[in-house]
Amino acid sequence: MDAFRADRINAIHDGKLLTPFIKKLLNNSIYFKNCFANCTWTLPSHLSMFTGLYPTQIKLTGKYLDRLSDKVPILTEILKDLGYITLCYTENPWVSSYFRVTKGFHKIFKNNGLSFHNIGNTEVFESINFILNLLDRFIKKRIRVKRYLDYWKKFKQVIEELNKRMLQNIFWKTLLRDYKNTINLIEKFNQILPSYLNGRPLYLFLNIMATHCPYIPQKEALNYVNITPKDFKILKNLLLNPSFYFNKINLRSKSLTEKQIKTLKKLYDSSVYYSDMIVEKLFSVLQNLGLLENSYVIITSDHGELLGSQIDHYLYGHGIYQSVLDSQIKVPLIIYHPKFYKRIIEDQVELKDVFHTILHLVGIPDDKNKYLNLQKSLINQIESNTTPKYIYGENLKLEKEIKTLIEVYKRFVKADLIQKIFSDICFLRSESYKYVKFEQNIEEFYDLINDPHEQVNIISDDLEEYHHMKHYLTGQLKKIKNLKNLTEIMTIKEKSVIRKAINDLKI
């Protein structure tokens, strides 16, 4: 589930029933109550889960932070080589071959039309664009002066944006009504799935966007929260000006109003409730196909979400540039199997270890399962009482993106945030403290027992634990940047590819 706040599942244990099916599911699950993502935004988080590597390591193996090197083995490729049929259902446009997130899947089912801003399907929009394109071709044939062509290009872009905004304002209710329903889409996926059941083991990856902003409510979940006409008016403004609200608020020129925060919370909780209905539907599909009795089901999220309130430092959304708050990195993690009994794990664990956990659960012998590090499997960690004392994570920046952001929104940016926004961030988290280090030598230190929402930076208290965690972080950075370890992993893959090529030639 994309952008799922862990506290919405934790609410079950506080007596607030937000997700009825999940509550039932926990009777046959291991529930990791304190799982933390090792990064704060989608692509590096997906790649960490699929490779067992930190974002820094992904970046070291290739040119990009958000594109995986072909030399790095990815979970789906490994499972495919082990004889699995690998299928992907995604509502996330970032999960694509361009970013190499989808390597190793036999088949990918994309439902990327789940964006409110994908307005190109309306006939009026298409008609106006058609006329603009005709005019564009006419002008380019008649005018040869580059300066005038540049003027026209800018004017055309303005007209296209005005067209889009005008139509969104007119048809926004229609667009909400026609917003794709995930439960119906999964039903279609269910009809296709049986053709891939041929006796071979099956790996399914489903990326659901129900809890991703802008938290568009579905009619099936509207009764869960009392959404009023005023709430829809606020939703309309957030829908029609997403970048404006996201950047203006997160670059700290202002905060959301109390009414907006209250509406966001209701819309988000409605989305959480709907995601619970989706999970129930998925289990029904697996049950009807006879797959559930022999399957492990892992439910998690790539990152959390900020809802604009004080406990979220008045920040909104995710991918926030200047922080690594627990609201961003704390994610749900449930591992279901019909023969499991209910277990709640309070120890903190890290999301990237899902890679080794899946390789452990498939039960392939060690001599054929070369990429498994058993010590990093979450199942092994809880059985051997070796869950990590510290969670390490990062918020790495794309420099070009940050420069563009600052240039466009420079009148909104608070001066004291500039260094934080441009800096890469790394953090170390224990069950009691969190140490945060920015690239520009800015430090933060939080007492998570007495200050769980990280409101007071106690770096000036100069605690002994601060020095210990700072020293440990220095060693951790050296360890993850050790190219020798990465080379060994990549060499295993290269040998495997060469061996397969030789066998193919022999045949």
Report the predicted TM-score, pTM, of the whole model to 2 decimal places: 0.88
Q: Is residue 167 part of a domain?
A: no
Enumerate long-range contacts of 254-261, CB under 8 Å, 24 or more apart.
Answer: 255/308, 255/314, 256/308, 256/314, 256/316, 259/230, 259/234, 260/234, 260/308, 261/307, 261/308, 261/309
Q: Range of 77's domain?
A: 7-116+179-392
Closest CA to 241 of 164, 312, 305, 179: 164
Q: Is residue 207 part of a domain?
A: yes
Strands (E), 337-475: 343-350, 391-395, 425-429, 433-438, 443-447
Convert the pLDDT of each residue in 290-322 to its tens digit: 999 999 999 999 999 999 999 999 999 888 888
Q: Above pLDDT 90, what percent of the chain?
A: 47
Q: Is residue 399 part of a domain?
A: no
Q: Is residue 105 part of a domain?
A: yes
What CATH number is given to the structural domain containing 228? 3.40.720.10
Query: Can you give the pLDDT at residue 12?
Result: 57
- Left if phi > 0, otherwise alpha if psi is -120 to 50, otherwise beta: which for 42? alpha
Count structural domains, the chain.
Answer: 1
Cβ contact 113:91 at 8 Å: no
Convert the pLDDT of each residue in 49-59 to its tens digit: 999 999 999 98
Closest CA to 372 of 82, 110, 90: 82
Q: Is residue 153 part of a domain?
A: no
Q: Is residue 38 part of a domain?
A: yes
Convert the pLDDT of each residue in 73-110 to its tens digit: 899 999 999 999 999 999 888 888 888 889 999 999 98
Q: Is residue 300 part of a domain?
A: yes
Tell me the one-letter amino acid at 231. D
CA 479 to CA 467: how far, in whole Å?
19
CA 63 to CA 434: how far, in whole Å?
30
Mean pLDDT of the chain: 87
Q: 214: cis peptide before it, omega within 30°?
A: yes
Convert the pLDDT of each residue in 390-430 to its tens digit: 999 999 988 888 888 888 887 888 888 888 988 999 999 99
Q: Is residue 213 part of a domain?
A: yes
